[in-house]
Structure 1
Amino acid sequence: MKNIFATLLLSIVVFTAQSQIKESNGKVYIPKGTWFTGGSISINFINSDAHYGNNGIPENGESERIEFSVSPRLGYAIAKNWTLGMELGYSYGRTKSKNFENEVLVRESRFTGNSFGVNPFVRRYIGLGKKLMFFFQTDLAYSYGESKAEELFDEDSIDNPTFLNSYDYRNVFFVGIKPGLNYFLNEHWALESTVGRAGYEYRKSSNDNSPRNIDSESNRFFIDLSLSNVYFGVSYFF
């Protein structure tokens, strides 16, 4: 299998410099009245090829995927080392797949998905030195997502077309916490990272795949320290 993977990660900030991070007794702190803003944009391009055999018939497949996400964030210090904030999110993904037998196209499909999210949060910062701060973030997040799976071509259905499109809808609520670190490059700029999360999640989803619809609900308490919940970004304090 051959994989081509490219990732672009940008952090976007818009600011007006009015305040800055302070230091007391050798430890950095965030004064009341301080604003901070930041966010991230990520773009992933993934191409893959697979070669295999089925009953002596050589088969191969190829797929192309693009992923895009953006999540601006804004917060305000209501007291020393306590901040309230809001984060918005949008993500988009599209995958195109083709399967061949003896170099003849036998199946082609496409999957697209969109999701929107809003996350009010509270942060409690603790200064660990002149440049480093630890924080706990409490989230109250909601996201809504839609996805569509399409069979664009299927050799088995040429004489009897049954190209059914499948639609999925998801509503997800999350209440929980995640730990993080800020490393201050100067009085305004800080590198930021969060690792993992823990809390309660409620998920409701439905699938519209005529002639039948499938609805499901789930809820869970969990602790997740996987790499999928590691975030890196930049914040600006003013």
Structure 2
Amino acid sequence: MKKLLFTAAIAVLGFTSVNAQEDTTTSGFSNGDVFISGAVGFGTETTGNLDSNVFNVAPKSGYFVSDNIAVGLQAGFTSWSADVDGTDTVDANEFAVGVFGRYYFAPASQFSLFTELGVDYTSGDDKLADVGYDGFEVAFAPGINYFVSKNFAIEATVGVLGYSTSKADFDGAESTDNFNVGLNFNDISFGVVYKFN
């Protein structure tokens, strides 16, 4: 919940000033548009004597190949840490790079719904166990996009349906497969979009 509030506050504060400076008469997307977007998140939780933190950043760049379809490149970095009574129990990082495709249901409107399918290559390391891993993931998520000005929009994806597989970097390691269905407030991600003219 803290992650949601922190991210929402940044989005609202950032676009309050942008909205006052931009004209909203021609907002929305169309064929040939190029955009960049990004999301930054931070979460912290304390349960009993367990303290955990997560930080992530996820930039994207996309191009509309038709009025309703955008394709693009995406990247990401996530860092996890946790400790019990001051003793580290988790200290890990993960990098991701991949591609995505989106279908927008009303792209020329100020408000639009979309669905997104992404495929990423991932590479990470667990510093405490001194083990690295590589893998890939596929994720599907619905989202909303709202233009607050001609060029700036806020977006959110809600929930996720995904599959990931990874394998540790040591002899004899077996692949780990995960299926994920996220339908709670921790699975809402907010981002900022800039559309080039």
Q: Which has the higher helix share?
A: 2
For residue 73 of structure 1, the aligned residue among 30, 35, 60 is 60
1:114-139: CA deviation from partner (whole Å, max 9, x where unpaired): 11011211111111884211111121
Structure-2 change in CA distance of 1:41 and 1:221 (3 Å): closer
CA RMSD of aligned residues (A): 3.4
Offset, 1:66: 4.1
Structure 2: distance between partners of 1:123 and 1:21: 23
For residue 146 of structure 1, the aligned residue among 114, 119, 125 is 125
TM-score (norm. length: structure 1):
0.62
In structure 1, stretches of 5+ residues that fail to align are: 13-19, 51-61, 100-107, 150-165
Give the residue type in structure 2 aligned to 1:202: T
Is the Cα contact below 8 Å between 1:37 and 1:235 reproduced in 2?
yes
Structure-2 change in CA distance of 1:222 and 1:46 (3 Å): closer
Structure 1: distance between partners of 2:95 and 2:62: 20
Is the Cα contact below 8 Å between 1:67 and 1:92 reproduced in 2?
yes
1:39-76: CA deviation from partner (whole Å, max 9, x where unpaired): 1223345556x4xxxxxxxxxxx455443221111111
Structure-2 change in CA distance of 1:32 and 1:192 (3 Å): same
Structure 2: distance between partners of 1:29 and 1:228: 28
Q: Which residue of structure 1 lines up, in the alignment, with residue 144 of structure 2?
A: 181
Structure-2 change in CA distance of 1:187 and 1:88 (3 Å): same
Structure 1: distance between partners of 2:174 and 2:141: 27
**How many residue pairs get matched?**
183
Is the Cα contact below 8 Å between 1:21 and 1:237 reproduced in 2?
no
Query: Which secondary structure does the structure 1 equivalent of 2:65 belong to?
Result: strand
Query: Which secondary structure does the structure 2 equivalent of 1:215 belong to?
Result: coil
For residue 202 of structure 1, the aligned residue among 159, 165, 169 is 165
Structure-2 change in CA distance of 1:135 and 1:171 (3 Å): same
TM-score (norm. length: structure 2):
0.73
In structure 2, stretches of 5+ residues that fail to align are: 15-22
Is the Cα contact below 8 Å between 2:111 and 2:145 reproduced in 1?
yes
Structure-2 change in CA distance of 1:180 and 1:45 (3 Å): closer
* Greater gyration radius: 1
Give the residue type in structure 2 aligned to 1:219: D
Q: Which residue of structure 2 lines up, in the alignment, with residue 237 of structure 1?
A: 195
Indicate the structure whose relative CO is greater, using CA pairs within 8 Å and at least 6 residues apart.
2
Matches within 5 A, 1:28-177: 30-46=29-45, 50=48, 62=49, 64-98=51-85, 108-127=87-106, 130-149=109-128, 166-177=129-140
Is the Cα contact below 8 Å between 2:72 and 2:99 reproduced in 1?
yes
Is the Cα contact below 8 Å between 1:29 and 1:126 reproduced in 2?
no
Offset, 1:112: 1.4
Q: Which has the higher strand share?
A: 1
1:219 equivalent in alignment to 2:177? yes
Offset, 1:222: 5.5
Structure 2: distance between partners of 1:109 and 1:201: 26
Query: Which secondary structure does the structure 1 equivalent of 2:95 belong to?
Result: strand
Structure 1: distance between partners of 2:176 and 2:25: 45
Give the residue type in structure 2 aligned to 1:37: I
Structure 1: distance between partners of 2:187 and 2:168: 22
